[in-house]
C-alpha cells in the first residue's frame, strides 16, 4: 500500500519536461501556478500531467492556483537591487520605468490610498522591510531592514488595509480557463472570509473544480471555521502568512489550523519552504526534514513543494526526499500521529464509517477499508477518522477519483458502474480480491450502500481475501 500523506508538486520550468519523473517519484497532485506562465503553458502542463499519470498507471490530480490580489513590484535594473537600512524607497503607480534602489513601480494602482503613515510593508517574502512615511499619489517609505529584492517581488501590506476585491479581473479571466481545462482543484489566494469562497463557487458552479482556500491573512484565521465550511480543502500557506503575522506564531497556528480542519473533516495542505534549500542543494537540511515530519505529525493531508520543483536544480530529488520522510514518519512515528476527527455518529453514514474504523483498528487481520462512492464523501468521512489501514475508494466517476488523490490515506480506484444498488457489494468484493497489494487470507472491511443513490452507506461487511 502507498503512503498516506499526499505530495503536491508545483510544475515549472524545472519540471515541465520531467512530469513523468515527478509522477514516478510519487506526486499525487500537480500545482499549476497561474501567477506565472501563459494560458498556453498552463494547458500544456495540465495535458502532460494527465498523460504522465495515465502512462504511469497512477491517479494524479491537477490544481490551478489563482494569482489573487497579490501585489508585486515592477522590473528592477539588473533584475535585483540591494536596499540599505535608513535609506528612502518610493513605491509609485505603474509608470513603465525600470526601478532601482531609490524606488520602483507597484502593480496595485490604489495602494497609496489604502496605506497610512507607520504601516509596515514587506518586500520579497520579508527580504526587506519598509515603513510608510507618506502616501499620496506615491508611497514614500523608509527602509527599516535592508536586503536584496528582485524584479516582480511580492509587496506585502496588512491585509485589512486592502480595499480591492478578493477576485481580481485577472482571476475572473483565469477561472473559466481552469474550468475549461478540466482541472480538479482551484486554489483561491488571499481569502479573507467565507463569502470570498462563496463568490468563487458561484462562478465555477457546483460541478466545477473543488475549491482550496489558501489561509494567508489574519482575517482568514479569524473566519477559519466558516471558510472550512465553505471550501472543499484549505492550504496553510506559510509564506504570506509568515510575513503578515509574526513568524514565531506560524508553527503554533499551523498546528491549530490543521487540527481544526481535521475535526471538521476538511483536507489540509501545508505549503511553503518545506524543502527550500533543495532549490540549490541535492539534500534537505535537518531542520527541513523535521518541518516535513511535523506537518505529518500535525495531521496534514498533504505537503506541498513550490520552488523546489518549479525552478529548483534538483526537483526529482526533492520529491523523492519528501516521499521518504513521509513513509518513515508513517511507519515508525505512530505514537506521534494525531487522532482522527471526532466520530460523526449523528448520521447513519457517520456511524457506519466510525464502526468501520473501529473494526479495522481492533482486528489485526484487516488490511484495508474499501468503499464505493459516487461523490467521494464516504471516503472523505472515513479519511477524517484516520483509520489504521488504507482506504480503497472505488468510483466510476473519473473526476471523483482524481479529487480523492488529495485526501489522506485514500487510494482511489476506478471501477465500472454497477447496474443496480444490490451489485455494489459484490463488485467491491471482486475488486479487492483482484488487488495484488492485498495478501490472501487478509481481511477488508467493505462499506457500501443498498439504498437509493445519494443516501450514503448503510452496510458493513468483513470480506476475507480468498487463498
Catalytic residues: 31, 72, 214, 272
3-class secondary structure, 90: strand
**What DSSP character marks residue 264?**
T
The DSSP-derived string for 199-223 is HHHHHH-TTSPEEEEEE-SHHHHHT
What is the distance between the alpha carbons of residues 253 and 236, in angstroms, rounded to a whole number?
9
DSSP states of 269-292 as a string?
A: EEESSSSGGGGT-SS--HHHHHHH
CB 303 within 8 Å of CB 274? yes
Can you read off the three cell numbers belonging to residue 309? 520543483
Q: How far apart, in whole angstroms, are the C-alpha atoms of residue 375 and residue 460?
A: 19
CA dist., res. 232 & res. 55, Å (int)? 28
Contacts of residue 298, Cβ cutoff 8 Å, sequence gap at least 6: 254, 255, 258, 259, 270, 338
22: its cell numbers: 515527478
Q: Cell numbers at residue 343, please?
A: 466520530
DSSP 8-class letter at 404: G
Rounded to whole angstroms, the Cα distance separating 445 from 359 reads 8
∠ at Cα 395 (394, 396), nearest 5°?
A: 135
CA distance 371 to 390: 11
- Cβ proximity of 96 and 160 under 8 Å: no
Parallel, antiparallel or unpaired: strands 410-414 and 391-395: parallel
- How big is the CA angle at 82 (ends 76 and 85), to the nearest 5 degrees? 130
Q: Which residues are registered as beta bridge partners of 91?
A: 104, 139
For 82, other C-beta atoms within 10 Å of its C-beta total 10
- All three cell numbers of 196: 470570498
- Residue owning grid cell 511507519: 331
**Helix, strand, coil: what percent of the chain each, to 5?**
40, 25, 35
Question: 346: which DSSP letter?
Answer: T
Residue 406: partners with Cβ closer than 8 Å, 6 or more residues away:
6, 8, 28, 29, 61, 185, 233, 267, 269, 301, 302
Which residues lie below 8 Å from residue 338, measured CB to CB, with a gap of 6+? 259, 262, 297, 298, 299, 386
Q: If you ran DSSP here, which 8-state letter would residue 233 be given?
A: E
Amino acid at each position: 500500500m502507498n503512503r498516506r500523506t499526499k505530495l503536491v508538486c508545483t510544475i515549472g520550468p524545472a519540471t515541465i519536461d520531467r512530469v513523468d519523473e515527478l509522477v514516478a517519484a510519487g506526486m499525487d497532485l500537480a500545482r499549476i501556478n497561474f501567477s506565472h506562465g501563459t494560458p498556453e503553458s498552463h494547458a500544456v502542463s495540465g495535458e502532460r500531467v494527465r498523460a504522465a499519470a495515465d502512462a504511469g498507471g497512477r491517479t494524479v490530480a491537477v490544481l490551478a492556483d489563482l494569482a489573487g490580489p497579490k501585489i508585486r513590484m515592477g522590473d528592477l535594473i539588473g533584475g535585483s537591487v540591494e536596499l540599505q537600512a535608513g535609506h528612502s524607497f518610493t513605491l509609485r503607480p505603474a509608470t513603465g520605468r525600470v526601478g532601482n534602489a531609490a524606488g520602483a513601480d507597484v502593480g496595485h494602482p490604489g495602494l497609496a490610498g489604502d496605506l497610512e503613515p507607520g504601516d509596515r510593508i514587506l518586500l520579497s517574502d520579508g527580504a526587506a522591510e519598509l515603513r510608510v512615511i507618506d502616501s499620496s499619489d506615491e508611497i514614500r517609505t523608509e527602509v527599516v531592514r535592508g536586503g536584496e529584492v528582485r524584479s516582480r517581488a511580492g509587496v506585502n501590506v496588512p491585509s485589512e488595509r486592502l480595499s480591492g476585491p478578493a477576485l481580481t479581473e485577472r482571476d475572473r479571466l483565469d477561472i473559466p480557463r481552469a474550468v475549461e481545462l478540466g482541472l480538479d482543484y482551484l486554489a483561491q489566494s488571499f481569502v479573507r472570509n467565507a463569502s470570498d469562497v462563496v463568490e468563487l463557487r458561484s462562478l465555477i458552479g457546483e460541478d466545477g473544480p473543488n475549491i482550496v482556500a489558501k489561509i494567508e491573512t489574519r482575517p482568514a484565521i479569524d473566519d477559519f471555521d466558516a471558510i472550512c465550511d465553505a471550501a472543499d480543502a484549505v492550504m496553510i500557506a506559510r509564506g504570506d502568512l509568515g510575513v503578515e503575522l509574526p513568524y514565531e506564531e506560524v508553527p503554533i497556528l499551523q498546528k491549530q489550523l490543521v487540527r481544526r480542519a481535521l475535526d471538521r473533516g476538511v483536507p489540509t495542505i501545508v505549503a511553503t519552504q518545506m524543502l527550500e534549500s533543495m532549490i540549490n542543494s541535492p539534500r534537505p537540511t535537518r531542520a527541513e526534514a523535521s518541518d516535513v515530519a511535523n506537518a505529518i505529525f500535525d495531521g496534514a493531508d498533504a505537503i506541498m513543494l513550490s520552488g523546489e520543483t518549479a525552478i529548483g536544480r534538483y526537483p526529482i530529488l526533492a520529491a523523492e526526499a519528501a516521499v521518504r520522510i513521509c513513509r518513515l514518519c508513517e511507519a515508525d512515528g505512530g505514537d506521534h500521529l494525531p487522532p482522527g476527527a471526532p466520530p460523526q455518529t449523528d448520521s447513519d453514514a457517520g456511524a457506519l464509517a466510525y464502526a468501520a474504523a473501529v473494526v479495522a483498528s481492533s482486528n489485526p487481520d484487516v488490511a484495508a477499508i474499501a468503499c464505493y462512492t459516487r461523490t467521494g464523501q464516504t471516503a472523505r468521512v472515513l479519511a477524517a477518522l484516520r483509520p489504521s489501514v488504507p482506504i480503497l475508494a472505488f468510483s466510476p466517476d473519473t473526476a471523483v477519483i482524481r479529487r480523492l488523490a488529495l485526501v489522506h490515506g485514500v487510494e482511489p480506484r476506478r471501477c465500472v458502474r454497477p447496474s443496480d444498488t444490490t451489485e455494489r457489494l459484490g463488485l467491491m468484493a471482486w475488486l479487492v480480491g483482484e488487488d495484488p497489494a492485498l495478501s490472501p487470507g487478509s481481511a477488508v472491511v467493505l462499506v457500501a450502500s443498498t439504498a437509493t443513490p445519494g443516501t450514503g452507506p448503510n452496510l458493513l461487511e468483513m470480506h476475507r481475501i480468498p487463498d
